[in-house]
Amino acid sequence: MEEEEMRKPWVDQDACIGCGLCVNNVPEVFRLADHDKAEVYDAGGAYEDTIQQEAIDICPVSCIQWLD
Ligand code: F3S
């Protein structure tokens, strides 16, 4: 049940500038891929509030979104 309700973050890698803020703040969820763009490798690695406040809200190009 909980897993079904869990939202998953997604990084628009075309827009990501590789600043690394999301990776530094929430390393349990985000990592830098080979081409220096962030990617989600464990969507369930942190609470939604943490992902929202420590990654989505502070990404300078607003390229992290929730998948519905
Ligand atoms: Fe990229 Fe934004 Fe993270 S620019 S590295 S997705 S904070």
Domain borders along the chain are 3-67
Q: Does domain 3-67 have CATH number 2.40.10.10?
A: no
CB 56 less than 6 A from any atom of ligand 1: no
Residue 18, CB-side half-sphere exposure with 13 Å CA sphere: 6
28-49 pLDDT, tens per residue? 999 999 899 999 999 999 999 9
CB 40 less than 6 A from any atom of ligand 1: no
Ligand 1 center from residue 67 Cα (angstroms): 16
C-alpha span between 58 and 68 (Å, rounded) = 21
C-alpha span between 7 and 4 (Å, rounded) = 8
> Is residue 53 over pLDDT 80?
yes
pLDDT for 6 equals 84
1-32 pLDDT, tens per residue? 555 578 999 999 999 999 999 999 999 999 99
C-alpha span between 13 and 63 (Å, rounded) = 8
Residue nearest to atom 2 of ligand 1 (CA): 59
